[in-house]
């Protein structure tokens, strides 16, 4: 099994016109590493309209609807940073962690991610690091594959 | 202190939509409510990150805690919310 976080799914200097654009870029990043079919991208936008995925600390975690799970080929996350920020229903988002997960994999993944973000130093480092390796290291607990 | 223990009914666990609905409902209560899994640390129920950090899946038993006037009513309402399959309600909406 590949790691959940592929280097190719990390972009530190993304620019988005608006929230939906940012979500679609996350979807394309997940599609680019073979984690989802293109239809998942619409499911991510749809999910956001139904339930915003802003979680605090300048971070949003866009992901698909339950119905979109059929479009997931394997569990994965992507990391897109928007240094200029994206207006997210009135919140300023600088970091998107896009999530593709089948079954219950996302619960553990979200838990690990939330624990990292609850540490203000880690959250700040994730928002500001100029280095892909550091981003991977910071997310390591979340990105490790657990034996199924 | 009042407490309620309830199993998460939503089929995908306490994240995404179920978590968003729960966190908003917790924030709307008159008293601060905390939530924990087992003997783990109790965290603010009105914080999305804190609630996500619990990693509560379908069937996980969580305990809600609150103090003061209105605590019992707040906990009854939040426990009832967690006992519903909020994902199924999404499917019904779609």
Domains annotated for chain B, with CATH where assigned, are 2-93 (3.30.1340.10)
Task: Give how far A118 is from chain B: nearest CA, Å.
Answer: 7
* Angstrom distance (rounded) from CA A78 to CA A13: 13
For chain A, the average pLDDT equals 89
A66 — contact with chain B (CB < 8 Å)? yes
pLDDT at A108 over 60: yes
- Quick one: pLDDT at residue B75? 98
Are B17 and A51 a contacting pair at CB < 8 A?
yes
Contact A89, A53 (CB under 8 A): no
A111 — contact with chain B (CB < 8 Å)? yes
- Quick one: pLDDT at residue B16? 75
- Quick one: pLDDT at residue A9? 96
Q: Which residues of B touch A110 (CB under 8 A)?
A: 15, 52, 55
Please state the ipTM of this predicted complex.
0.79
Of all residues in chain B, the one with the smallest CA distance to A54 is B48
- Quick one: pLDDT at residue B17? 80
Fold (CATH) for A5-141: Mannitol-specific EII; Chain A (3.40.930)
The ranges of chain B with pLDDT < 50 are 93-94
Q: What is the average per-residue pLDDT within A104-129?
A: 86
- Quick one: pLDDT at residue A145? 54
Q: Which residues of B touch A106 (CB under 8 A)?
A: 12, 15
Are B94 and A111 a contacting pair at CB < 8 A?
no
Q: Which residues of B touch A67 (CB under 8 A)?
A: 91, 94
Contact B46, B23 (CB under 8 A): yes
Contact A138, A148 (CB under 8 A): no
The percent of residues in chain A predicted with pLDDT above 90, rounded, is: 63
Q: Is A19 strand, coil or helix?
A: helix
Residue-wise pLDDT for A21-59, tens only, equals 999 999 999 999 999 999 999 999 999 998 889 998 899
* Angstrom distance (rounded) from CA A65 to CA A51: 10
- Quick one: pLDDT at residue B94? 41
* Angstrom distance (rounded) from CA B8 to CA A60: 24
Are B12 and A57 a contacting pair at CB < 8 A?
no
pLDDT at A1 over 50: no
pLDDT at A67 over 80: no
């Amino acid at each position: 099994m590949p790691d959940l976080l592929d280097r190719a799914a990390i972009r530190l200097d993304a620019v988005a016109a608006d929230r939906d654009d940012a979500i679609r870029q996350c979807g394309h990043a997940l599609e680019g590493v073979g984690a989802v079919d293109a239809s998942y991208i619409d499911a991510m936008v749809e999910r956001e309209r139904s339930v915003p995925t802003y979680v605090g600390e300048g971070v949003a975690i866009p992901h698909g609807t339950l119905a979109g799970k059929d479009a997931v080929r394997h569990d994965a996350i992507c990391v897109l940073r928007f240094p200029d920020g994206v207006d997210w229903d009135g919140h300023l988002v600088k970091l998107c962690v896009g999530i593709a997960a089948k079954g219950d994999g996302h619960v553990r993944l979200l838990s690990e991610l939330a624990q990292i973000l609850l540490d203000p130093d880690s959250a700040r480092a994730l928002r500001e690091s100029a280095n892909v390796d550091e981003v991977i290291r910071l997310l390591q607990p979340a990105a490790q594959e657990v034996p199924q | 202190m009042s407490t309620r223990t309830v199993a998460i009914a939503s089929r995908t666990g306490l994240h995404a939509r179920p978590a968003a609905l729960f966190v908003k409902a917790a924030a709307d209560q008159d008293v601060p409510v905390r939530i924990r899994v087992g003997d783990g640390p109790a965290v603010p129920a009105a914080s999305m990150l804190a609630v996500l950090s619990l990693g509560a899946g379908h069937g996980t038993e969580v305990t809600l805690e609150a103090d003061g006037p209105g605590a019992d009513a707040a906990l009854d309402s939040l426990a009832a919310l967690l006992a519903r399959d909020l994902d199924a309600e999404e499917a019904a909406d779609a």
